[in-house]
């Protein structure tokens, strides 16, 4: 087998692109949000919330992801602001991943709009790496209507760095022999895992480029930045030992997570994301005729610290509402109020055997009715799309949001 070939595929301006495609193709709107100053996020009627994604024309007004809607509207009073639709984004993400799996059986979903692929040894099937990447990129655009960047290298870190080069709709390589020319001249803040706090500490040491970090004394970096200093020093030198973790065909557990393109700072938004994640987990469980007995929730903060909790259920289930209620309870126990960068819902102890449910005098839940509801929702979505029907829990959240 030849050199390892890893692709990192990143959807360009994902939420904004997916929203634009949905509005044009499903709602028949003539205006393409990508062609005008526009953004996803916030409450349009109350002019609050934050910007989740913005169009390329909006960048000319210095509108930034994560900034308050009020500030964005002050910079660009004519900004077209649309509310987020996580169900549409999840459906778009699934369609995107489905295309990737046509080219490789080793696909790792990294977030809702990013994935890694192991393309080692596929040259005879799809051509040399750049040719194959271009083919994938073009198929996604012609089939789904949005663009992606593809980064190519021999490890995950360098592939991810490559996909962040000039955008949109481009393919870039960053192999080890290209690091000095393509990566080292970049500002140190462009290196994966270097946040604002790390950047300040590095600048205090006179380190301003990735190349200067790569050549720095690793012991000095460890003194100032502890273990993190050694990690980013290795990254600056193009070293990454992380293996691509493709989802096994026969799941022992079912899960989904997303690295958010903005910092979530309120429970309502976090729980909307959790519902979207739980929906996809529930759909996959029911599709495989499987049930799970343990639910876990993971929260990663913007400083890369991470917490997770899990809970064993009284009975195996594949009911979305039941899994979601547990996920929300775990989230409330977990969250310490700090800005959230990643949310994940995972399950374990999966079984395909029918297991009885212990009845309780204090539990009036009609589980049979909930199972029938899930099956009905699944069939409607299978026929008309994920956005064809919304759960009452989503609508209730939207209504409650209007009263605050």
Using an 8 Å Cβ cutoff, are 52 and 84 in contact? yes
User: Does residue 5 belong to any structural domain of this protein?
Assistant: no
Does 265 lie in the same domain as 232? no
| C-beta separation of 345 from 296 below 8 A | yes
The predicted-structure confidence for 363-373, as pLDDT tens digits, reads as follows: 556 667 777 77
| pLDDT of amino acid 370 | 73
For residue 388, what pLDDT is reported? Answer: 47
Q: 247 pLDDT exceeds 80?
A: no
Q: Is the pLDDT of residue 304 over 80?
A: no
Does some domain include residue 155? no
Same domain? For 276 and 356 the reply is: yes
Asked if 359 and 394 sit in the same domain, the reply is: yes
- Note whether 231 and 295 are same-domain residues: no
In this structure, the answer to whether residues 294 and 231 fall within a common structural domain is: no
Secondary structure (3-state) at 279: helix
pLDDT at 401 over 50: no
Q: Tell me if residue 147 falls in helix, strand or coil.
A: coil
My answer on whether 189 and 65 are in the same domain is no
Q: What is the pLDDT of residue 308?
A: 84
Is residue 378 included in any domain, yes or no?
A: yes
Question: Would 200 be classed as within a structural domain?
Answer: yes
Of 243 and 98, more confident: 98
Give 139-169 pLDDT, tens digit per residue. Answer: 999 999 999 999 999 999 999 999 999 999 9
Is 403's pLDDT higher than 70?
Answer: no
What angle in degrees, to the nearest 10, is found between the helix axes of 196-204 and 218-225?
130
Q: From the CB of residue 355, how many other CB atoms can be counted at a distance below 10 Å?
A: 11
Q: Is residue 52 part of a domain?
A: yes
Domain co-membership, 314 together with 229: no
Amino acid 398: pLDDT: 40
Q: Are residues 217 and 268 in the same domain?
A: no
**Omega of the bond prior to 168 within 30 degrees of 0, cis?**
yes
Range of the domain at 333: 255-403
Q: Are residues 339 and 279 in the same domain?
A: yes
For residue 333, what is the enclosing H or E element? helix 320-334
Q: What is the pLDDT of residues 249-281, one digit of tens each?
A: 455 568 888 888 778 888 988 998 898 889 888
- Residue 136, both tokens: 């994938």
Whether residue 122 is predicted with pLDDT greater than 90 in this model: the reply is: yes
Sheet holding 6-11, edge to edge: 107-111, 114-118, 6-11, 148-153, 171-173
- Do 278 and 334 share a domain, yes or no? yes
Q: Collect contacts of 392-400 with beta carbons under 8 A, ≥24 apart.
A: 393/275, 393/321, 393/324, 394/87, 394/272, 394/275, 397/268, 397/271, 397/272, 400/268
Which DSSP category does 387 fall into?
G
227 and 335 in a single domain? The answer is no
> Rounded mean pLDDT of 317-328?
91
**pLDDT grade, residue 221 (50/70/90)?**
very high
Side-by-side strand order, sheet with 255-264: 255-264, 340-348, 292-301, 306-317
For tokens 């029918």, what's the residue? 354
pLDDT of residue 378: 67
Residue at a domain's end among 169, 203, 236:
236
How many CB atoms lie under 10 A from the CB of residue 257?
Answer: 18
- Domains identified in the chain, total number: 3
Among the three residues 69, 86, 103, which one is the final residue of a domain in this structure?
86
Q: Is residue 91 part of a domain?
A: no
- Distance of alpha carbon 73 from the chain centroid: 27
Which of 114, 293, 306, 368 is flagged as catalytic? Answer: 114
Provide mean pLDDT across the span 384-396.
Answer: 50
Span 79-116, pLDDT tens digits: 999 988 888 888 899 899 999 999 998 998 887 889 99
Q: Give me the chain's average pLDDT, please.
A: 85
Least confident of 23-32, 45-54, 73-82, 234-243: 45-54
Residue 354 bears catalytic tag: no
Q: What confidence score (pLDDT) does residue 356 get?
A: 54
CA dihedral 246, 248, 254, 257 (to 10 degrees): 0
Q: Are strands 38-40 and 292-301 parallel, antiparallel or unpaired?
A: unpaired
> Is the model's pLDDT at 402 over the cut of 50?
no
Taking every pair of Cα atoms in the chain, the longest distance, rounded to a whole number of angstroms, is: 70
pLDDT tens per residue, range 155-212 = 999 999 999 999 999 999 999 999 999 999 999 999 988 888 889 999 999 999 999 9
Q: Are residues 229 and 355 in the same domain?
A: no
* Domain termination site, one of 66, 86, 106: 86
In this prediction, residue 128 carries a pLDDT of 96
Q: Residue 249: its pLDDT value, please?
A: 43
Residue 48 pLDDT grade (very low, low, confident, very high; cuts 50, 70, 90) = low
pLDDT of 2: 66
Please tell me which residue, 318 or 47, carries the higher pLDDT value: 318
Question: Is the pLDDT reported for residue 404 higher than 70?
Answer: no
In a domain? residue 360 = yes
CATH number at residue 383: 3.30.1490.100
With respect to residue 125, please indicate whether it lies within any of the assigned structural domains.
no
Query: What digits encode the pLDDT tens for the residues 332-344?
Result: 988 988 889 889 9
User: pLDDT value at position 69?
Assistant: 86
Instruction: Decide which of 148 and 53 is more confident.
Output: 148
The pair phi, psi for residue 5, each rounded to 5°, is -125, 115
Residue with tokens 């029938």: 372
- 23: domain CATH number is 3.40.1170.60
Confidence of residue 220 (pLDDT cuts 50, 70, 90): very high
The DSSP symbol for 37 reads S
């Amino acid at each position: 087998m030849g050199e390892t070939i890893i692709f990192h595929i990143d959807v360009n301006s994902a939420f904004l692109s997916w929203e634009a495609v949905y509005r044009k193709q499903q709602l028949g709107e003539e205006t393409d949000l990508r062609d005008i100053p526009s953004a996803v996020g916030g409450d349009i009627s109350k002019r609050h919330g934050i910007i989740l994604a913005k169009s390329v024309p909006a960048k000319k007004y210095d509108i930034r992801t994560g900034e308050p809607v009020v500030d964005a509207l002050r910079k660009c009073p004519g900004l077209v602001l649309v509310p987020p639709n996580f169900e549409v984004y999840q459906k778009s993400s699934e369609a995107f991943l489905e295309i990737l799996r046509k080219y490789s059986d080793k696909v790792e979903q990294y977030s809702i709009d990013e994935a890694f692929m192991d393309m080692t040894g596929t040259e005879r099937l799809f051509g040399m790496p750049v040719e194959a990447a271009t083919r994938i990129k073009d198929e996604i655009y012609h089939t789904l209507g949005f663009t992606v960047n593809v980064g190519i290298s021999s490890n995950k870190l360098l592939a991810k760095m490559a996909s962040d080069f000039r955008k949109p709709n481009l393919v870039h390589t960053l192999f080890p022999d290209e690091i000095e020319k393509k990566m080292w001249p970049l500002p140190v803040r462009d290196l994966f895992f270097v946040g604002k706090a790390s950047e300040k500490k590095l600048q205090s040491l006179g380190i301003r480029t990735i190349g200067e970090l790569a050549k720095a004394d690793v012991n000095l970096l460890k003194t100032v930045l502890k273990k993190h200093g050694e990690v980013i020093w290795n990254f600056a030198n193009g070293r990454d030992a992380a293996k691509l973790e493709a989802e096994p065909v026969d799941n022992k557990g079912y899960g989904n997570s997303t690295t958010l393109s903005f910092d979530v700072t309120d429970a309502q938004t976090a729980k909307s994301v959790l519902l979207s994640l739980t929906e996809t987990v529930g759909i996959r469980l029911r599709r495989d005729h499987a049930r799970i007995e343990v639910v876990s929730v993971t929260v990663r903060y913007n400083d890369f610290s991470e917490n997770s909790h899990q809970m064993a259920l009284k009975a195996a289930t594949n009911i979305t509402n039941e899994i979601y209620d547990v996920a929300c309870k775990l989230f409330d126990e977990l969250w310490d109020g700090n800005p959230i960068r990643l949310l994940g819902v995972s399950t374990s102890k999966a079984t395909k055997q029918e297991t009885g449910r212990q009845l309780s005098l204090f539990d009036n839940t009609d589980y049979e009715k909930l199972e029938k509801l899930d099956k009905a929702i699944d069939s409607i979505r299978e026929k008309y799309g994920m956005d064809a029907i919304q759960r009452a829990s989503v609508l209730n959240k939207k209504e409650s949001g209007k009263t605050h």
